[in-house]
Amino acid sequence: MTGWTGKMLRVDLTAGETSVEELCRHDLRDFVGARGLGSRLLYVAGAYAVDPLAPENPLIFATGPLTGTYAPSGGRYNVLCRSPLTGAIAASNSGGYWGPELKFAGFDLIYVTGKAASPVYLWVNDGRAEIRPADGIWGKTVSETEDAVRAQTHPEAKVACIGPAGERLVRIACVVNDKSRAAGRSGVGAVMGSKNLKAIAVRGTRPVRVADKEGFKAARKRAMEKILSHPVTSGGLPTYGTAVLVNVINAHGAFPTRNFQTGVFAEAERISGETLAKEYLVRKKACFACSMACGRPTLIPSGPFKGSGEGPEYEAAWALGADCGVSDLAAVTAANWQCNEMGIDPISYGATLACAMELYQRGYLTREQAGREMRWGDGQLLVEGVRLTALREGIGNLLAEGSYRLASEFGHPELSMTAKKQEYPAYEPRAVQGIGLNYATSNRGGCHVRGYTISSEVLGIPEKLDPLVPDNKAFWVKAFQDATALVDSSGVCLFVTFAIGAPEIADLLAAATGEAYTTESGLLAGERIWNLERMFNLKAGFTRADDTLAPRLLSEPMPEGPARGQVSRLEVMLPEYYRLRGWDEEGRPTEETLARLGLKW
């Protein structure tokens, strides 16, 4: 095949066996790859009906047809399963070099089921696979694990692994590859830990073939010209990383602060990308085939948080910073390093700690119950809390469950800033109406990268929308969600869409695979994937009632800033969104919609 390898590695950890299977070209074409193909496999397996931490829950590592090619930023892969945090479908995206290496080893995806009797890791080397014991590696941090596995396999192997958090089934644990790139959201690391699977090392030497070399070269050239001339992809991201957004979003009154009690953080400048670049940045760092190089290797030369690592990116700077009321950039940076090492999602960790801080502020969580004070702005607590959470020690055992279960434990689930039990990222729905609709309807729970309307509502890409009004937001949310499903499934980074869109992605897919992808058929594939994910969640027991936001965002007016007096107008946007999706009033795809998308099965 071209673009795709057409092969899947199946791993049964209970039996200790591996096998290679051919993938159906029809499914590859219709669901593209990565997120789309993985979601189809989860649905067919009936994963919606299994306990997320049971051996029967499939764990899928999936690449796209552009992964490992020299398509712009073609280094992405997805980790899919039923989420232990939400119970919904999980598809967590990561960059770096692991995904391309899996393609070079001859596989589009790895499909893992079962549970090993004792800790193991998987070694995949140019089409061959071996399950090896990991007893001496279990318990190690991410960096220690990668170094140990490479020493036992190949010095150039690429490693995806879990840290101590995944081993202890922390519901906000992630899968980390290349020591600092993470499939970070929805608790996929806990599912990997539940299988006693510590790591997957891959090594490959086979290039990814494309169907039309000259056509691919031309399509890549057209896309790169736009990427290299756009101010975001050629200026802001390479210069300051994603944290360039800190001051921008704060100026719009959309920077959630102290567990979304307000949207303005007075000390935002102190944790901004500009300050990070000035104080601690060592260099820029790129993923495979990426010109943007938004990675941020950092160094703190002295003080209590002295050390080195990578990040924080924008979402982590917010969650570990403003959301917890912390303005000490050294503490935020060190906490981010610890999240990488322990294998914890910094968004959900910071948001869960912020929830605990508000519970403490209101007297619902006492010092005796927490074992310490839980005050806003405590940088030492922020850093130490990562280890406590990863090891499930003290208050960390509650933080490890995520903010919804934490807040419910103390009788106040309304203080959990989540959708479908997954913590919101760094944008305030009262100040940016479209992103609130996206949070509420996201198939994996609170998430910005399922439909990044910030692009239009704040940055004016592809056109500027008024963030404070609900008008026409349903149309844009659906459009962003469908396009993102296509991008995620193709294997390129979402950040390229600041400069290019579905036409360029379709051209690259067509030249790589030999299939007749067009803008229209590409977006139809994105819509098909979105609806399949919705059907998974409906089968898992989700209903219209789950398409909502935290009560605060719907009923408490924003207290200050440009969005002062605003609440989310979700009740206005949601019915229109359902109509545009071709769903009934309860949010279920109609028979006509399923037929149009080829999902009648």
For 452-479, write each residue's pLDDT tens digit.
Answer: 999 999 999 999 999 999 999 999 999 9
Annotate 136-165 with b (16+ C-beta within 10 A) or e (fewer).
Answer: ebbebbbbebbebbbeebeeebbbbbbbbb
What is the β-pairing status of strands 197-203 and 120-125?
Answer: parallel
Model confidence at 596, pLDDT cuts 50, 70, 90, reads: very high
Model confidence at 286, pLDDT cuts 50, 70, 90, reads: very high
Model confidence at 115, pLDDT cuts 50, 70, 90, reads: very high
Residue 256 carries which DSSP code?
-
3 state SS of 443? coil
Average pLDDT over residues 190-195: 98
Look at the pTM and tell me if it is higher than 0.85: yes
Average pLDDT over residues 383-395: 98
- In angstroms, what is the C-alpha Rg of the chain? 22
Average pLDDT over residues 295-307: 96
Average pLDDT over residues 324-341: 98
**Dihedral Cα 257, 563, 450, 290, nearest 10 deg:** -80
Take residue 199 and report the two structure tokens written for it. Answer: 């790591």
Q: What is the pLDDT of residue 571?
A: 98
Q: How many angstroms separate the CA atoms of 75 and 336, rounded? A: 23
Residue with tokens 């999902």: 599
Q: What is the pLDDT of residue 75?
A: 97
* Per-residue pLDDT tens digits for 347-365: 999 999 999 999 999 999 9
DSSP per residue, 186-237: TTHHHHHHHTTEEEEEEE--PPPP-S-HHHHHHHHHHHHHHHHHSHIIIIIH
Q: 542: Cβ–Cβ under 8 A, 6 or more apart, which residues?
A: 87, 88, 420
Q: What is the pLDDT of residue 366?
A: 97
3 state SS of 534? helix
**Taking a C-beta distance cutoff of 8 angstroms, is the pair 562, 432 a contact?**
no
pLDDT over 70, % of the chain:
100
Domains of the chain: residue spans and CATH: 7-203 (3.60.9.10), 255-421 (1.10.569.10), 429-498+518-596 (1.10.599.10)
Model confidence at 12, pLDDT cuts 50, 70, 90, reads: very high
Q: How many angstroms separate the CA atoms of 46 and 323, rounded? A: 37
Q: What is the pLDDT of residue 386?
A: 98
* Per-residue pLDDT tens digits for 64-88: 999 999 999 999 999 999 999 999 9
Model confidence at 377, pLDDT cuts 50, 70, 90, reads: very high
Residue with tokens 């070099």: 97
Q: How many angstroms separate the CA atoms of 79 and 183, rounded? A: 7
Q: What is the pLDDT of residue 408?
A: 98
**Could you tell me which of 345, 590, 574, 586 has the C-alpha nearest to residue 440?**
574
**Taking a C-beta distance cutoff of 8 angstroms, is the pair 314, 243 a contact?**
yes
* Per-residue pLDDT tens digits for 235-258: 999 998 899 999 999 999 999 999
Amino acid in the structure at residue 75 = G
Average pLDDT over residues 119-129: 98
Q: How many angstroms separate the CA atoms of 31 and 109, rounded? A: 14
